Structure 1
Amino acid sequence: MLRCQRCQHTETSDYQFEDTVCPKCAATDEQGFRSFQWAVPLAFRTSLNRGDDAKSEYDVLITGAGSVAESKPQDFNLVSNTNTQIAFSESGRVFRINDNRGQLFKGAIGKASFGQGEKLLPNQWIDERFQGKNDGVKFQKQGESEAIAIVAPKTTGVLRIKPVTVPQGLCLDPVAQGSAVKAAFYSAAFILRAVAAQELDIDPEELDVSGLRQVELEDTGEKVGEIVISDRLANGSGFAYWLANHWQDILIDKILNSQNTFASAIMSFEHRQKCDSSCYDCLQQYRNMNYHGLLDWRLGLSLLRALTSSHFSCGLDNDFSPPDLDNWLETAIQLRDTFCASFSSCKPQEFGVLPGFQVGDKSVIIIHPLWNHNNCFGLLANATATVEASIAVRYLDSFNLLRRPSWCYQSLGN
């Protein structure tokens, strides 16, 4: 199996393990590219000993994504009156992967015996951690040791969603530095799942967010994110297909026009006042704990607006009236002031209407997470123009300033 943590490209067949870089984004091992063997167990076996008493307290182990969809070329269709193109497959391949936190499982096939040797079981794959241990099994290896991931595959309905074009001045590349754009796509996916589940009157767990990968737009070559949503049940339940057929209604009417009670609740004044990114009243759930650090309902809604219209400017036109952009300038100023109070070498400064600060010989401008600082437009272009040409300009987004100010400060030295 090929798996790239950088662009989320996944392949399972006809892959040559001699290759050492991702075929899609050219990521190396250090950047998250991995190729590994995988196996689908027919069953699992315990050590057959008496075991230990259950512990009343234990640590919760947070593992990787619940499921990932195989990356396969598909024909996308433009959804009218939106900036979205979608592709649905009723026979998509989705994998739940356990790679032992990236370390893989190391073991071999052989004969295992339990107890006093009276229980002999041939052709058993036993992990090295349990071979010949006092509390393990007696084991006679018959083949070479190998490192594998355990995979549970299924064929089910898979829906892929990506933008048609990138609105001017925005960045929709999930691999962009800082993880903010990735957070926007994942947040949008969980909003979509919650709204679709409410409309269908089903448990949100009936739909899986099965990955987010970086893809290139055919016309422009720009890199954007592709959301993958699949049915939880093998062979499909029809829910992802329903979402594909009702995309325009869900996106425009139910979410952005707040005709769905979940959507209206997260955009309500009361929720806006108490939730700065995500909470258990909006996007956070026990089963998506892996994503809690990324979830942000404001970013998710802004991303959905970009999927609605190619003219969405996300505040670059000085329009911060949508609920997801409401008070963004004030919040950016507060984040800037808190940051400068924490790092005394930073001196607050204004760049047009945008807040920022001076640190050393650099001018730093605070930007919205979806703004493209490599192609400045609107307010950002005006703010950058206020800086003298001889002074280096750097950018920090409000997403990272809120979550990891120390990382932001260190990034200014790179």
Structure 2
Amino acid sequence: MIGQAFLCDHLENGAGYCRFLQKPKEFKKLMNLANPNILNSIASKWINQPHGNACDTSCNLCLRDYQNLAYHGLLDWRLALDMAQLVLSASSAIDLKSPNGSISNPWSELYQGMNAPITATLQRLGYGLPTQFGTLTGYVHQNQNRQTILILRHPLWQDNHPEWIASEAIAKAQTHYRDYEVKPANPFLILRRPGDYA
């Protein structure tokens, strides 16, 4: 199944962005701004320091302003860049680790390292240190009431993604995790609703 995104401002007093962006020259300018490999693009400013490490979802320096206040909890600059990357090339590798040209994957900053936001959040919820399950990173939680393995996967992935299927099978095949429940973990949601993973 192929996903789609669309813009519509047909309403009376609409801003006219759709008609403006339907012009090939203007759309190309927009896509260039979303390309982190182009010097001084918005995307390169979002990825580079100090913003890249300091902003785990969105902030006033990237996506948030007063006009979109109602949507602050939904905005994510990493996800926005991945959506733009898919527009530029449907064959782009959209995951949590593959670089985009010479730019390292910005999702990796969220879970790699002891002080990474996702790792720190899950450890506060009783999960252990990151563990590799095939190509994906997982977190094991075990106590008397629950034995769970969370495996991180990209927010745009579905259950039929080959890397997810392979990593889930590897986790279930390990004898010391035989009775554990294996669940997908969405980094977009872990940072916004950590209680869902408690």
Question: Which residue of 1 is the match for residue 148 of structure 2?
Answer: 362
CA RMSD of aligned residues (A): 3.0
8 Å contact 2:151–2:185 — kept in the other structure?
Answer: yes
Question: Which residue of 1 is the match for residue 6 of structure 2?
Answer: 227
More strand by share: 1
Question: Which residue of 1 is the match for residue 190 of structure 2?
Answer: 401
Question: Which residue of 1 is the match for residue 128 of structure 2?
Answer: 347
Question: Which residue of 2 is the match for residue 383 of structure 1?
Answer: 167
Name the CA shift for 1:381/1:249 in 2 (closer, same or farther; >3 Å).
same
Amino acid corresponding to residue 155 of structure 2 in structure 1:
P
Q: Distance in 2 between matches of 1:232 and 1:264?
A: 34
SS at structure 2 position matched to 1:364: strand
8 Å contact 1:357–1:365 — kept in the other structure?
Answer: yes
8 Å contact 1:335–1:401 — kept in the other structure?
Answer: no
Name the CA shift for 1:280/1:408 in 2 (closer, same or farther; >3 Å).
same
Amino acid corresponding to residue 268 of structure 1 in structure 2:
N
Question: Which residue of 2 is the match for residue 304 of structure 1?
Answer: 84
Alpha-carbon shift at residue 401 of structure 1 (Å): 1.2
**Structure 1 unmatched runs, 5+:** 1-164, 167-223, 410-414
Q: Distance in 2 between matches of 1:288 and 1:324?
A: 29
SS at structure 2 position matched to 1:307: helix
SS at structure 2 position matched to 1:293: helix
Q: Distance in 1 between matches of 2:154 and 2:15?
A: 38
Equivalenced residue count is 182
SS at structure 2 position matched to 1:394: strand
Name the CA shift for 1:330/1:252 in 2 (closer, same or farther; >3 Å).
closer
8 Å contact 1:301–1:324 — kept in the other structure?
Answer: no
| Identity level (%) | 27
**Structure 2 unmatched runs, 5+:** none
More helix by share: 2
SS at structure 2 position matched to 1:227: coil
Name the CA shift for 1:260/1:249 in 2 (closer, same or farther; >3 Å).
farther
Name the CA shift for 1:259/1:253 in 2 (closer, same or farther; >3 Å).
farther
Question: Which residue of 1 is the match for residue 62 of structure 2?
Answer: 282
Amino acid corresponding to residue 123 of structure 2 in structure 1:
A
Q: Which has the larger radius of gyration?
A: 1
Question: Which residue of 2 is the match for residue 112 of structure 1?
Answer: none
Name the CA shift for 1:280/1:233 in 2 (closer, same or farther; >3 Å).
farther
Amino acid corresponding to residue 228 of structure 1 in structure 2:
L
Q: Distance in 1 between matches of 2:11 and 2:48?
A: 30
Q: Distance in 2 between matches of 1:403 and 1:238?
A: 32
SS at structure 1 position matched to 2:172: coil
Runs of 4+ in 1 over 6 A off after TM superposition: none
SS at structure 1 position matched to 2:152: strand
